[in-house]
Structure 1
Amino acid sequence: MRPAPRISHTSTRFRTPLLNLSTLCLCLLLTACQNSEPEQARSEAETIELIQDDVVAVQTGDSVSKTAFTGTIRAVQHSSIQAQVTATASAVNAQVGQRVSKGQVLVRLNNQDNAARLAQARANLASTQAQANQARVMMERKRRLLNQGFISKVEYEQSQVDYRAQLENVRAQQANVDIAEKADRDGTILSPISGVITQRQVEPGQTVSAGQTLFEIVNPDRLEIQAKLPSDQQSALKVGQKIEYKIQGNPAQLTATLSRVSPIADLASRQIEFFATPNESINSLSIGAFVEGNIVSSNSISGQLIPLDTIQDIQNKPYVWAIRQNKIVRIDIHVLEQRYSDNTAIVSGLQAGDLVSRVKFSPQNEQQPVSISQTAENASG
């Protein structure tokens, strides 16, 4: 009887560990698959939700270049009236807010001294005129005597000299009269223009000094815009350019025409002063009011209009976050013009149908799907 073979025992001993190892690997593989499938499903299903206010549709068209400025409303005709002599105001005939005409008497000054000087000057003039007439009569008489041979030629020539001297005295006295008359007229102050009194700094009985301001007058029928622009924007300053503006406290959009430009820039501020004539009637109460507006260029720029604040890194390499084919994309753009007054930029580089995002994303969000709700309530629901 032969002994049983031992090989069968050896095969059984090595088969059992291999079977256990295979089972363990299969379990680990199944576990890994179960863990990765939900993560992958969650990653593929993750969608960024936005509302309609978060995006802006790209608009294509022509845009007119505008240059912003600030200024004030002023009267074209205005006058500051000063006293020319030192005297006492005997009568004041104008009040603040009163409309006056050119040549109307505003103040009468009690300048009796000037009146007395005028009377004296006129008396001196009359006296010298009488002496001149007497000298002329004597000269003519001596001319006849010279012709008859009764006097010498020297005597006649002396009479001519006396007459010329008297004529010069007349001219000198006439100049004194003119000076006295002006001083007397300075006692009556007239309005140099037609307008409205805006300031009054004199009262009856008050003594005023020569050079003291008594009244301020403006003509409210002729107003204009006075403003300044930095010298580096001087290309926008062309006479005849259209201007759009608003007056402080008045929401109405008004227009004007650029009428005058200073030929030089201010040495201190490096700004150029310009003036514009309003096209609409302006209330006189707007004189001195603050004005904010734009000089509208006659040339237009074609491009895509988007909000200025949606542009990222505008100083170096401008780009925007946009929604294209329902995915987030970063798009490099070229900025043609910036308008800070209405938060608008004219750019190129976008496509029709792009939606520019007001929300700033990170590079990790690129190519993620996006859903856009109509309202915030729909997005939250």
Structure 2
Amino acid sequence: MDIQKQKHLRFSLILCTLLGLTACQKEAIETADQNANPQNVQQNNQQAIELIAEDVVQIQTGSLVDKSPFTGTIQAVSQTSVQSQVSATAMQVTAEIGQFISKGQVLVRLNNQDNNARLAQANANLAATKAQAELNRSLVERKRRLWQQGFISKLEYEQSQVEYLAQAEQIKAEQANVNIAKKAAQDTVIRSPINGVITNRQVEQGQTISVGQTLFEIVDPSSLELKASLAVSEAYKLFVGQNIEFRLQGDTTLYPAKVTRVSPVADQASRNITFFARPTAQAPLHIGAFVEGSIIRSSNQQASGQIIPLNAIRHIDTAPFVWVIRDNKLLKVKVDVMQKQSADQLAIVSGLQNNDMVSLIDFKHDDQNKAVIIQNDEIQNNVAQAN
């Protein structure tokens, strides 16, 4: 029995030895194959990257219209706030919000009793002063003759001249008081300084108002303009006469306009430059409407090159590069960014081959040189034809 077990044990040992030798021989053969074809082994160990048509774009060549986006609002060119010049009680209010009014039209009549009384008093004082001056003038003439005849002294004659001149100056002072009182009386009737529409009313009949209080706000809707702002870094593109295009909020239609004024000072908070523009074509503008648009530079300021999506460029501000599919492999290619267009999210670059397919997806460094499969027959055919 013991002899039989020993034989069985020897057989098991011999079998294990043979299996181990076979495994070592196979490993040696695989190692030799790897040393002979390392690139094939590396490709076999890498899994191909699968993309869809929406993940890649074909390179275009040409130029871009240089556009700089901005936002703004529509406002009236002519607008004003009507304020009270006197303190009084509103006796009659004749204008309402939304009402069209003409220049010079009466908006409010204020209590005028005190001002009329002051005007009457000023006129009376002026009349009395003029009468006294006329009397002094007659006395000067009379004393001049008496002095020439030797009946009075020269000093007495000169004194009468001084009194007359003083009275003449008093006339000027009283006339100024009359003018002030007359203006105060006129200011109790408040009129519109422009043609337009009432957009705000802050006075009611019977209300006591003070000097400087705003009563109405008026805008002229017949003449509108854009008020917008642009980053200081883009301010070199702004000048009077510059072409722009804009669209109203909720509307896809683009309307042309020209810059009419540019502020020389940047806003301290936003660091933006404010500018104004007038539409050059009929547009359905409304005061206060939000707009967005672009500054358009002339064609001689445009760059030409390879056009790709702006979001396909990685590290655009430091060391820009893009992922491309070339010969069915994923490559990392450095590019020079010649022009960026934020409005359309496009860029002009150099450094690519025209048959490259640009990836919109970002990859890791280890993905470089991996095989790429684009699951779209049409795209694959285009790549094959380009190659």
- Whether the TM-score (by the shorter chain) exceeds 0.5 is yes
Q: Which residue does 1:265 correspond to in 2? A: 266
CA positional deviation for 1:347: 1.2
Which letter does structure 2 place at the counterpart of 1:214? L
Q: Secondary structure at the match of 2:165?
A: helix
Q: Secondary structure at the match of 2:157?
A: helix
> In the alignment, is residue 314 of structure 1 matched against residue 316 of structure 2?
yes
Which letter does structure 2 place at the counterpart of 1:334? D
Normalised by the size of structure 2, how large is the TM-score? Answer: 0.80
Q: Distance in 1 between matches of 2:221 and 2:164?
A: 57
Q: Distance in 1 between matches of 2:168 and 2:274?
A: 55
1:324-363 to 2 correspondence within 5 Å? 324-362=326-364, 363=366
Further displaced range: 145-154 or 323-332: 145-154
Q: Which residue does 1:291 correspond to in 2? A: 291
Which letter does structure 1 place at the counterpart of 2:369? E
CA positional deviation for 1:47: 5.8
* CA contact 1:248–1:289 (8 Å) conserved in 2: yes
CA positional deviation for 1:109: 0.5
Change (3 A) 1:132 1:364: closer
1:160-239 to 2 correspondence within 5 Å? 160-239=161-240
Aligned length: 351
> In the alignment, is residue 373 of structure 1 matched against residue 376 of structure 2?
yes
Which letter does structure 1 place at the counterpart of 2:128? S
Which letter does structure 2 place at the counterpart of 1:304? Q
Change (3 A) 1:30 1:212: closer
Which letter does structure 2 place at the counterpart of 1:92? V
Change (3 A) 1:354 1:177: same
Q: Distance in 2 between matches of 1:121 and 1:30?
A: 123
Q: Distance in 2 between matches of 1:331 and 1:62?
A: 21
Q: Which residue does 1:56 correspond to in 2? A: 57
CA positional deviation for 1:370: 2.9
Q: Secondary structure at the match of 2:143?
A: helix
Normalised by the size of structure 1, how large is the TM-score? Answer: 0.81
Q: Secondary structure at the match of 1:107?
A: strand
Q: Secondary structure at the match of 1:323?
A: strand
* CA contact 2:78–2:223 (8 Å) conserved in 1: yes
Which letter does structure 1 place at the counterpart of 2:316? I
> In the alignment, is residue 303 of structure 1 matched against residue 305 of structure 2?
yes
Q: Distance in 2 between matches of 1:234 and 1:30?
A: 70
Q: Secondary structure at the match of 1:90?
A: strand
Q: Deviations over 1:311-348 (max 9, x none)?
A: 22333322222222344333221222333332212211
Q: Secondary structure at the match of 2:245?
A: strand
Q: Which residue does 2:108 correspond to in 1? A: 107
Q: Which residue does 1:3 correspond to in 2? A: none
Q: Distance in 1 between matches of 2:48 and 2:285?
A: 60
Q: Deviations over 1:182-230 (max 9, x none)?
A: 1111101111122111101111121111111100011222222222333
> In the alignment, is residue 96 of structure 1 matched against residue 71 of structure 2?
no
Q: Secondary structure at the match of 2:63?
A: strand
Structure 2 residues not aligned, in runs of 5+: 1-13, 34-39, 380-387
* CA contact 1:73–1:290 (8 Å) conserved in 2: yes
Percentage identity across paired residues of the two chains: 53
Q: Distance in 2 between matches of 1:272 and 1:369?
A: 47
Change (3 A) 1:62 1:26: closer
Q: Which residue does 1:379 correspond to in 2? A: none
Q: Distance in 2 between matches of 1:63 and 1:375?
A: 27
